[in-house]
Structure 1
Amino acid sequence: MRERLFLLLILVLSGILLSFATQSISISYDEANIFFNGNGFIHYLAVYSTQFLGQNDFALRLPFILFHLASIVLLYKIGKLFLKKRVDRIISIAIYALLPGVNGVALLVNNGIIVIFFSLLFTYLYLKEYKVASHLVLIVCLFIDNSFAIFYIALFAYAIMKRKTDLLILTLILFSASMYLYGFDTGGKPKGYFVDTLGVYAIVFSPLLFLYFVYAMYRILIKEEKNLLWYISFFSLVVSLLLSLRQRLLLEDFAPFVVLSVPLMVKVFFNSYRVRLPAFRKLHTFFFITVLVFLVANTMLSFFHKPLYAFMNEPSKHFAINYDIAKELADALKSKGITKVMMKDDKMALRLKFYQIERGGNYKLSLQKEIEEGYEQINITYYGKVVKTFYLYSFK
């Protein structure tokens, strides 16, 4: 009962934090493009949610938050299969819930959290030996997202090593089908994106935790039993790093599979920690606390990012600039009774459309002064710092 209460507490806190974050960011251009012009699974998720709850940021992001919470439950159930101690399982899901990359895909309109959920669903069903159900999930994955091609490669390697003939045949067929339906670009000349890829992984995990992830994968490779989660995480990492030698990758194609390794990292750490006498655990304790502090700091920074604008000379270089401004600009226009505006910036126009600011009318919005008189200046300000300035012209 105590363990379930901790699980519930993590779910509640994660849900509250993500729900709060929906009110502090604006829809990005990529999200608006999916919402208005998409035709995939996540498009219909977002559209149906806003039709039911109203066209607002919370309704837009709610389906992805719910998938995130369901993923935490699945990871907890998977952890129960090979993490013997209750504290290990709780720490595992707590770390997962704190990962900056996981919170990012849980908050934004993208396929990442859907991929994580179905990967975990297959893993749980397969480990519980629900063979038919797990195979059906794999087939469904083919029609959800092209990134599952990497998942099929990892499962194919697992099937070869563990001599799982049925899984081997199925993943080979599904991988071939994925290549036929979506393709996979491996062209291009070497351009040195390997370091960039490592940097993105460090952001997904937080830098220190990523280093430990690499260590844990290596330690399991040479010393410990390699289970299904290891094959998924390890081969996703290796394939992404190899491909990054030739081209810039979309990390959402790989990162969702790598973060499934959290229970493995917890297991490796506590196996090493508990074989030592208490007097020789100080270094491990220090490392654990340091990693946790940096993890929490990185996560909180991603949620409470707006105060950083106050310390930046060039706000346009803020890491979250693409997820800010639009909502505040729409509110400023509505406060003036404006619901239609002409502008050259197609991307901002599509973002404003979500907030019921259409194109047209008797007003023009510009980032530049077009004439010296007859305009109204709209400043988007965070914590006393002007982040963006717009010029509003009236043609009445």
Structure 2
Amino acid sequence: MTTTNNKFNYYFYISLLTIVVILLFKADNSLSISYKEALNVFVNNSVLSIISKLSISIFGQNDIALRLPFIVFYASSVLLMYKLTENYFRYEKDRFIAICIFMILPGVISASLLVNSAIMVIFFTLLYLYMYQKNAKHSYLLLVFFLFVDNSFAILYLALFFYSFKNQDKKLMYFSMIFFILSMYIYGFSTDGKPRGFLVDTFAIYATVFSPLLFIYFIYSLYRAGIKDERTITWYISMTAMVLSIVFSFRQRVFIEDFGPYVVISLPFMLKTFFHSYRVRLKEFRQTHNIIAVLIVSMLVINVFLTFINKPLYLVLGNPTKHFVYQYHFAKELADELKKRNINEVTCIDKELQLRLKFYNIVEGEKYFLSTRSYYNYDERIVIRYYNKELLDVYVKKIEK
């Protein structure tokens, strides 16, 4: 390994370690459990729930234990992406830049902090691609395993079917279609509700996952690879996810955690396209690319900053509930305020809040009544504020026996 490679390896591991430390700090100090996350801890029995409960049983019922498995999935995904891009770029510097951008993609960062399947899907998809790259054959054991992990792997099966059809790989073609059918049978496909168009919403979510300019260039790179017949297995996976999400959005709202993981894995391919386009031009003709690069990096930095430090946004929002992570705030602070008043069990009208408080050991009981709506004879009013901006008012009444 050259001195240059050693240098960028060092930079990579330092960068990854720094982000993981920030994520752990964020998990412990800035987020509360949401209602959907509480369902995974106390009600559901999915793979997601099993992982969360196992971590809590080992490390205790706290926010770091809740989010630790997904931070581990994040770090493992970054390491796999680093291995997958070995010898992929002409210059080691390009590889480092690509990995750094992957590490700070808003969608990837957010997925690493929340209890959802997105970061798991990213990890297992990258693991499959790594095994394929390393052994030059498909891992059918992994494909069987994926059936029991998450419903969104149906997208991977369908992408592999298209890939095998193009390469005339009959074994993969048959197995991928069988796995796709089994996935549809096990998990089903929701077609409930009145048909409505959500195409604009879908593009807006993708723009949030990537950042707007990066997403536009991503679409261009997929299109360019398609017309130039540079369609790799990764291209098929990302293109299948993108097209399906667009088609479904004509009828219903799509869940980005089902499609996003398969889209973000093509980031290195997109950046390789950009670097190639940049270097084939003389320096005096690179101005447009330089402007695009500066704008993309600037927007990424802003998005990452807002992902990690978003509470000040409450100061400029008239309605706190419009904050993009409102559902992940205030529950822990409310539990702390209740404990200061020696209140450890309450009955809430808001059952979602009730389940969130349960995670912080405020159990359901008949000693106190808690409401988010004011009433005339309450005993105490508790106000949760961020930067002196009111987020939540609750009213507590001791129940006389």
Q: What is the aligned partner in structure 2 of residue 325 from structure 1?
A: 330
The equivalent residue for 1:161 is 166
Using the alignment, how far apart are the partners of 2:378 and 2:168 within structure 1? 75
| Structure 1 match to 2:3 | none
Equivalent residue in structure 2 for 1:290, among 275, 286, 295? 295
| 1:237 alignment partner AA | M
For the pair 1:395 / 2:399, whether they are aligned, the reply is yes
Deviation at 1:53, TM superposition (A): 1.1
Following TM superposition, where does structure 1 have runs of at least 4 consecutive aligned residues deviating by more than 6 angstroms? Answer: none
1:222-261 aligned at under 5 Å gives the runs 222-223=227-228, 225-261=230-266
1:100-136 CA deviation, whole Å, 9 max, x = no partner? 111111111111111111100001111223536x221
Q: CA deviation at 1:299?
A: 1.7
- Report the Cα distance in structure 2 between the residues aligned to 1:62 and 1:333, rounded to whole angstroms: 26
Please, what TM-score do these two structures have when normalized by structure 2?
A: 0.95
Q: State the match for 2:389 in structure 1.
A: 385
Aligned AA (1:341): V
**Unmatched 5+ stretches in structure 2:** 1-5
* Amino acid corresponding to residue 306 of structure 1 in structure 2: K
Does the CA-based 8 Å contact 1:209-1:291 persist in structure 2?
yes
Give the letter aligned to residue 389 of structure 1: D
Question: Structure 1 residues 374 and 160, CA, compared in 2 at 3 Å: closer, same or farther?
Answer: closer
Deviations 1:234-273 (A, max 9, x none): 1110011011111111111111100101111111100100
Aligned counterparts of 1:213 and 1:150: Cα–Cα separation in 2 = 19
Residue type of the partner of 2:309? F
Contact 2:378–2:395, Cα closer than 8 Å, also in 1: no
1:188–1:246 Cα contact (<8 Å) kept: no
Deviations 1:56-97 (A, max 9, x none): 000110010001100001111111152232112111111111
**Structure 1 residues 81-160: aligned runs within 5 Å:** 81-131=87-137, 134-160=139-165
Alignment of 1:7-46 (within 5 A): 7-22=12-27, 23-46=29-52
TM-score (norm 1): 0.96
For 2:393, what is the secondary structure of its paired residue?
strand
- Identical columns (%): 45
Letter in 1 for 2:238: S
What is the DSSP-based 3-state SS (H/G/I as helix, E as strand, rest coil) of the residue aligned with 2:299? helix
Aligned residues: 394
Partner letter of residue 241 of structure 1? I
Residues 160, 186 of structure 1: alpha-carbon distance in 2 compared, 3 angstrom cutoff = farther
8 Å Cα contact 2:160/2:172 also seen in 1: yes
Gaps of 5+ in 1: none
Show the counterpart of 2:86.
80
Q: Which letter maps to 2:134?
A: K
Q: Evaluate the alpha carbon distance shift between residue 250 and residue 140 of structure 1 in structure 2; reply closer, same or farther with a 3 A threshold.
A: same
Measure, in 1, the Cα distance between the counterparts of 2:158 and 2:82: 25
Task: Work out the CA distance in 1 between the residues paired with 2:58 and 2:193.
Answer: 44
Specify the SS of the correspondent of 1:387.
Answer: strand
Distance 2:51 2:199 in 1: 34
Distance 2:341 2:90 in 1: 61
**What does 1:198-237 correspond to in 2, within 5 Å?**
198-223=203-228, 225-237=230-242
What is the Cα deviation at residue 6 of structure 1? 1.9
How far has the Cα of 1:185 moved from its partner? 2.7
**What is the alpha-carbon root mean square deviation over aligned residues?**
1.4
